[in-house]
Amino acid sequence: MNSILLNLMLVLSVFSILVIAIQPTKNQNSSNAFLSGGNLFGTQKARGFEAVLIRVTVVCLILFFACALVLIKMSA
């Protein structure tokens, strides 16, 4: 069971790195947000492919941390 969870964590970590790497960047940097009066927290909703990537990232990271907690519980 340990080896299955460790392999799952490895796959999830590589997959989450790839999903995070392909997400589009925001055009507005921090200095523009403060100086131009733009919206600092970006309340604009993500749409389309970007929204799917955000959901996939969240699910992948939740599964990763759940596997980590199960491994900690099993080793104790």
Q: Given this model, what pLDDT does residue 76 score?
A: 82
Contact 53, 16 (CB under 8 A): no
Q: Given this model, what pLDDT does residue 74 score?
A: 92
| CA dist., res. 46 & res. 52, Å (int) | 9
**If you count them, how many residues does the chain have?**
76
Contact 59, 65 (CB under 8 A): no
**pTM score of the predicted model:** 0.71
Cβ neighbours of residue 12 closer than 8 Å, sequence gap 6 or more: 60, 63, 64, 67
Q: Given this model, what pLDDT does residue 59 score?
A: 95
pLDDT digits (tens, 9 = 90+) for 5-64: 999 999 999 999 999 999 887 665 555 555 555 555 556 677 888 889 999 999 999 999
**Residue 73 pLDDT exceeds 90:** yes
